[in-house]
Amino acid sequence: MSEDIKIVPVTTKKELKLFIKFPWAVYRGEKNYENWVPPLLMMAKEHFDRKKNLFFKHADMQLFLAYKNGVLSGRIAAIVDYSYVEYQKDETGFFGFFESFDDDAIAGALFKSAEDWVSEKGYKKMLGPMNPSTGASLGTLIDSFDIPPIFQMEYNAEYYPALIEKCGYGKSKDLYSYLMDTSLKLSDKMLRVAEIVKKRHNVSIRSVDWKEWDTIIPVLREIYNEAWADNWGFVPWEEKEFEYLCKDIKMFVDADLVLITYMGDEPVGFAVPFPDYNQVLHRMNGRLTPLGILKFLTGRKKIDIIRTAIMGVRTKAQNKGIDAVMVKEIYERGEKMGMKGSELSWIIEDNMALVNLLNGWGAKHYRTYRIYDKNI
């Protein structure tokens, strides 16, 4: 039977629903990928809600569905983030939210549609996956398919890298995930250095007070934008978008682990570790039913891994060892809460200062995500 592949731009609510739910066909279809964690459907919908998601204030996106012989077989998003283009001076579009059956023809048709859309916008390069931006979840998992992902990190079928590469994409950057296991005690050297730094620079660390959260958010945004300004792919957070992000953060973090670092009375750094809610979401199949809420509330007490996802230090306070003080504090607080370890992700492969620091702390590089690019 000849192959009939049809690409459909998403324009209706029905098509958007099909787009959002398609991953279940890949990971709970002919093959059951036990390590895939179904996303919460209500949160997945917000990704594409142009009224709620403030990303669309500075970006545009077109979703595509692929049908093969009448069967829904894949999806992709074509994205242009105008803030990225302006800040990075990089005339590049993104692809994201790619999911497909293991079929070169389906993947090829999807990528061509995304590339044509980006090209029509006037851009000659594609970068991704970005879901939907460099400030969100990104990358294609290229190893360690035998273990589930940590909260807010991607997971994909093992054949995805080959599908993407057959469409003409090559490696742009690798992003590393490190694991720090509490069975490996912090070195005496690190403990000594942390204490010296605290005394030398009058450093103190405080947990966040939710009563003051709204007044702290602008400070965190200022620190984050300054700390990450020179990082690969970075786009400064706009005020309202960062506030929206912080409302989501509040739902998923423990106040005792959200740390603000001070030099004297001045806030110069912060860290936001997330409990690994994937350990709970894994069993909820994407739905917050009354039973699902009960599973969530009871399951969160059993979480034994955290993910140190956001950490930043102002320029004036960098290279003083303050990051070591924060990691020590997170390690010790997590250990008291019964956590067995922390994933530190993601780390850009050529950030050798941080890579060497993590290796020196005894953290293990155990997963890799790849960003691809292609001239179109």
Q: What confidence tens digit (pLDDT) does each residue in 120-150 have?
A: 999 999 999 999 999 899 999 999 999 999 9
For 140, 241, 254, 286, 327, the CA distances from 144, given in Å and listed in that order, are: 12, 33, 28, 23, 25
134 within 8 A of 371, measured Cβ to Cβ: no
Tokens 């690969």 correspond to 232
- Structural domains of the chain, with CATH: 5-174 (3.40.630.30), 184-339 (3.40.630.30)
d(CA 79, CA 114) in angstroms, rounded, equals 8
Q: How far apart are CA 145 and CA 68, in angstroms?
A: 27
Which of 306, 288, 293, 314 is closest to 344 using CA atoms?
306
* CB burial of residue 304 (10 Å; 0-12, 13-18, 19+): middle
Tokens of 219: 């400070």
- Other CB atoms within 10 Å distance of the CB of residue 278: 22
Burial class of residue 208 (count of CB atoms within 10 Å of its CB; 0-12, 13-18, 19+) = buried
> What phi-psi label fits residue 89: left (phi over 0), alpha (psi between -120 and 50 degrees) or beta?
left
**pLDDT score recorded for residue 1:** 38
- Parallel, antiparallel, or unpaired: how do β-strands 130-131 and 125-128 relate? unpaired
Query: Can you tell me the distance from the alpha carbon of 359 to that of 352, in angstroms, rounded to the nearest whole number?
Result: 10
User: Could you state, in chain order, the average pLDDT of each consecutive group of 10 residues for the chain (376 residues)?
Assistant: 84 98 97 95 91 94 97 98 96 98 98 98 97 94 96 97 98 96 81 92 94 92 94 93 85 89 96 93 83 77 91 92 89 91 93 84 92 98
What pLDDT score does 173 carry?
Answer: 97
* Residue 43 confidence (pLDDT): 87
Helix spans in the chain (H): 13-21, 23-27, 41-47, 82-88, 104-120, 160-166, 188-200, 213-227, 239-252, 278-281, 290-299, 322-336, 352-361
